[in-house]
Structure 1
Amino acid sequence: MNTPDITTVVERLYARTSSGDLKWEQTEQEGVYQTSFPNYSIRLSEEYPVEAGDEPMDYWIRIYNSDGMLVTSFCDRDVFEDFKKKGSNAYHVMRKMYIMSRDQSMGVTRALNDILDCLSDGDAQ
């Protein structure tokens, strides 16, 4: 696994997610979000670590080809050192990206705006 390439993929996914250029969607699995490219799909998930304890969640990226076969997978721990060398934190970057993908695919902004409209109009029940 070439971690500099993986680190670059994470950085670019994060940047495009932050800018709203990537469209994330829900998958058939709860808590797993997907964005697609012409020949590949990327799934982002939040999972308990294998060695459960007081460890924080792991954030996983899985890349699938157009046939639905898993090409590669990695989590924030796999790129931790590369991010650290750049003065960044892989866990925080991937966690923020997960939250943004979840919020986008679940329509959080729309839901909050609808609720705020109801509250400001006195329509709340």
Structure 2
Amino acid sequence: MALFDRLYNKSESGALTWKETVQDDMFSVAFKDFSVSIRPVAVDFDEIDYYFEIRNENGEVVDQFKDTELSQLCSSDVERKALFKKVETLYEIARRNARGADKALTSILKQLDEDFPF
């Protein structure tokens, strides 16, 4: 749980730089000698699990876990629901960061503030 909490907090504050991977909808953040990735996996029509992988410098998976495993560490349903929401939020932060969504919006808004000859 400590790894997830720190990833979430650092991502939310903008301290981590997430990158797209070769796998669709998987995003990764690099550290010295290791990386952590997150990806959604559809379980049912309306249910998604989020998988985390820790890879070494050779790209080999050294550990993996999913949000449902993390939720087993929660002591109440309220905590579990909050965790699932935070995992979903982390994924969205990683996706937006990797694809440059915030930079795009900032650029578009700046251009809209300028006078355009139409």
TM-score range, shorter chain: 0.7 to 0.9
Deviation at 1:45, TM superposition (A): 0.9
Deviation at 1:106, TM superposition (A): 0.9
Equivalent-residue separation in structure 2 for 1:72 and 1:60 (angstroms) = 11
Q: Does 1:63 align with 2:54?
A: yes
Equivalent-residue separation in structure 2 for 1:14 and 1:70 (angstroms) = 21
Equivalent-residue separation in structure 2 for 1:103 and 1:96 (angstroms) = 10
Identity of aligned residues (%): 25
Q: Does 1:10 align with 2:4?
A: yes
Paired residues in the alignment total 116
- How high is the TM-score relative to the length of structure 1? 0.81
- How high is the TM-score relative to the length of structure 2? 0.85
| More strand, by proportion | 2
Runs of 4 or more above 3 Å deviation: 83-88, 122-125
Equivalent-residue separation in structure 1 for 2:93 and 2:61 (angstroms) = 23
Equivalent-residue separation in structure 2 for 1:10 and 1:119 (angstroms) = 38
Equivalent-residue separation in structure 2 for 1:120 and 1:76 (angstroms) = 42
Equivalent-residue separation in structure 1 for 2:95 and 2:117 (angstroms) = 26
Q: Structure 2: which 5+ residue stretches go unaligned?
A: none
Equivalent-residue separation in structure 2 for 1:124 and 1:48 (angstroms) = 46
Which residue of structure 1 aligns with residue 70 of structure 2?
79
Letter in 2 for 1:97: L
When the two chains are superposed, the root-mean-square deviation of aligned CA atoms in Å is 2.1
Letter in 2 for 1:117: K
| Alpha-carbon contact 1:118-1:124 (below 8 Å) kept | no
Equivalent-residue separation in structure 1 for 2:102 and 2:6 (angstroms) = 23
